[in-house]
Structure 1
Amino acid sequence: MVSVAVISRTQEERTEAAKERIRDTALLLFGENGYDATTLAAISLKAGFSRTLAQYHYPEKSDLALELLDERIRRDNHLELLNCADELSAQGAWDCLMRHLESVSDYYGKLHGACDHSIVVRGEMALHAAALMHADAALSARVHNLTVDLIARIERLFEICRKANFIPVNSDPHALAILHVHSIWGLAQALFANPKGSKPIAAAFEQIHVLLEALRTPEKL
């Protein structure tokens, strides 16, 4: 019985290793060729497997894309930086916003490098672009849900700041959260579309920080 369990775990490990290789290769090809132009067969062959293995693990390309987007949700959006206790102070909420902005700025700032991180980000941005263009209904729905969740988390932080008069009490936390999220993703898409624009986009991310700081009421500076 022990030997059977060991064999089972080894097979599971091999399966997961193959799926990880398929996911990594998919991001590479999505980033190079775009989502629509990349097939499961091409991913499988590029990963060094038979042309049907990727489809065996992911019957539809959207199944693979959704799994990759789930990984992005956990990593790219740094949701752990936006989780906070109900009793968090306004300064604490503001610090969460600043840390989140710093993290995503650093994340997208490496978009056009040659390292593994850059390859991952380019592939994820290709998935995001496909969702925005409604190329795949499942992708569009997942990105929509991600956006709604991220906006709600950031809105909560702005609301904590507003209630404490850390930012003007007549501020609209929901509108601020929408502006904040789409400013970040708009800049990321611009950087994805313009490989030569790293420095201007970095400066634009810094400007988001400047604009946020300008929101603070004078007595809170």
Structure 2
Amino acid sequence: MVLYLVESDVPAAKAEEFSSWLATHVTKVVAAMGRSAFASRARVVGGDEGRFVAVYELTGIPALENYMMSRERAELAEETTKAFPEAKLQRSFAERVAQPRRGMRHGEEPGAAFVVRVALPAAEADGWSAWYEGEHMPEVLGDPGFVRARLFEVHSEVEGERHFVAIYDAVDLGAVGNFRDGRGPKLGEAHATRYPNARIDRQIWEWQQ
């Protein structure tokens, strides 16, 4: 499984217009990627600008390469530039490392996500990945508001480093808030203590319907 992320920053005054446009754009991208592709989109909570993320899931690197080399992809990129020339875009892709889930109950479809990005020295990455998947993720997922966790390794050309992104799907924004006000800081402190060389960035996403 490969994750293709397109992150967009637009001026706050354009946020609602961009949100509506993105819903249609994502549908076009999925059609260009093929029937095996799946997409979702989120609005990043907080910040002065309108921040959005389009998340595309594909079966593997060859499927992503086919899309990236396609005429449709070039046309869609041009469409974005024409519609929102002021938008700042960042594209990245990552391969799935792990996907534990607690088991969704009725009414627990994800409405939000707690997203953790980690960059650390390459020499520490294998040990970190084993610990994160085997111990840390289950601890976070044990919080009642979370229903699924996914860990991806992000492709990076930074020499000597490896980059990861963990996406913890939650029932709603309230569940993420309860975690951050409750067990979150303690677990974050344990992470920092165990891997002091890791750079960590955290975001909250609200999934859009």
Query: Where is the helix percentage greater, Structure 1 or Structure 2?
Result: 1
Q: Which has the higher contact order (CA 8 A, sep 6+)?
A: 2
Greater Rg by CA:
1
Query: Where is the strand percentage greater, Structure 1 or Structure 2?
Result: 2
Structure 1 and Structure 2 fold alike (TM over 0.5): no
